[in-house]
Structure 1
Amino acid sequence: MNIDYTVVALMFPAIPLIMNVYSTRFHTLSALIRKIHDEYVFEKHTPPEWKDQLNNLNARISVLKYSIMFGAFGFLFNMVTVFALYLEELFVARIIFGSCCLSMMTSIIFFIREIQISTKALRLHISDMDEKFKE
């Protein structure tokens, strides 16, 4: 494959968009954690599924951290690819661009996992309503 600036430029719109999505998820998750923390500390409110929610939130934090980290590595590798092309190091640019693509794919895989965990959290959240309707 022949690599030049146009190939590398394909990643530039995608990376900021995906990082924006990750940031939004992170801010939403942090707001949820703060809300649950305030309910526990100030109102002494502990829902029955509290322990499961904490485990779920910890898992989401970890997975989202890796999503953001690999997305950032992808952005960094993309910039280094541009620099390698500037220095006319085509072989190095190919390897680094491959690393960029692998980082972005890994980031997306972690994000898919975070979506699965989030879905489980939503099911856990409505589980008490499910039990009431079954009675």
Structure 2
Amino acid sequence: MEALTLTTPALLFSAISLIMLAYTNRFLAYSSVIRNLHDKYLERKEDSLIRQIKNLKLRLNLTRYMQILGITSLLFCVLTMFLIYIHQQALAIWIFGTALILLILSLGLLIREIQISSQALQHHIADIEEHLENK
């Protein structure tokens, strides 16, 4: 097995940074939609708004866990670099492996969140199609 070098975990920095930017954008979009739905719900208490808010709450929680796992992965990459720097190669390999697993879990949650988002949009499309058919 080849030795782990400082450049190996450093390669993930740009990828993780871009992923975190995407996660943050999702989080901000959900926050905006939730605030709008909150205002609408205060005006008229409809069940459809409650369902949308519950869906967004689930997606927001998934995004939070995605962010936590992504940030922890980045932190472990930095720790790996430090361990390589102080010549703790064996521990560095294990920590880097853990960082990769955390990143995989984060991306897995992203896949799940995308599935939920797609289902929510499909419900909206179905509502519009039903309304158009009734005209």
TM-score between the two structures when normalised by the length of structure 1: 0.91
Asked if 1:28 corresponds to 2:29, the answer is: yes
Could you tell me which amino acid in structure 2 is paired with residue 37 of structure 1?
Answer: H
Could you tell me which amino acid in structure 1 is paired with residue 128 of structure 2?
Answer: M
SS in 2 for 1:3: coil
Classify 1:14/1:20 alpha carbon distance in 2 versus 1 (closer, same or farther; 3 Å): same
Instruction: Tell me the residue number matched to 1:55.
Output: 54
Structure 1 distance, partners of 2:47, 2:130, is 12
Instruction: Tell me the residue number matched to 2:126.
Output: 127
Instruction: Tell me the residue number matched to 1:80.
Output: 79
1:58 to partner: Cα distance: 1.6
Post-superposition, which runs of at least 4 consecutive aligned residues in structure 1 deviate over 6 A?
Answer: none
Structure 2, unaligned runs of 5 or more: none
Which shifted more, 117-126 or 74-83? 117-126
1:45 to partner: Cα distance: 3.1
Contact 1:70–1:106 at 8 Å: present in 2 too? Answer: yes
Output one character per residue of 1:51-80: Cα deviation in whole Å (capped at 9) or x when no partner.
321221121011111100100110110010
Asked if 1:17 corresponds to 2:18, the answer is: yes
SS in 1 for 2:87: coil
Structure 2 distance, partners of 1:112, 1:46, is 32
1:125 to partner: Cα distance: 2.4
Classify 1:83/1:4 alpha carbon distance in 2 versus 1 (closer, same or farther; 3 Å): same
Contact 1:74–1:104 at 8 Å: present in 2 too? Answer: yes
1:47 to partner: Cα distance: 4.8
Identical aligned pairs, as a percentage?
36
Could you tell me which amino acid in structure 2 is paired with residue 9 of structure 1?
Answer: A
Structure 1, unaligned runs of 5 or more: none
- How many pairs were matched up? 133
Structure 1 distance, partners of 2:120, 2:46, is 14
CA RMSD of aligned residues (A): 1.4
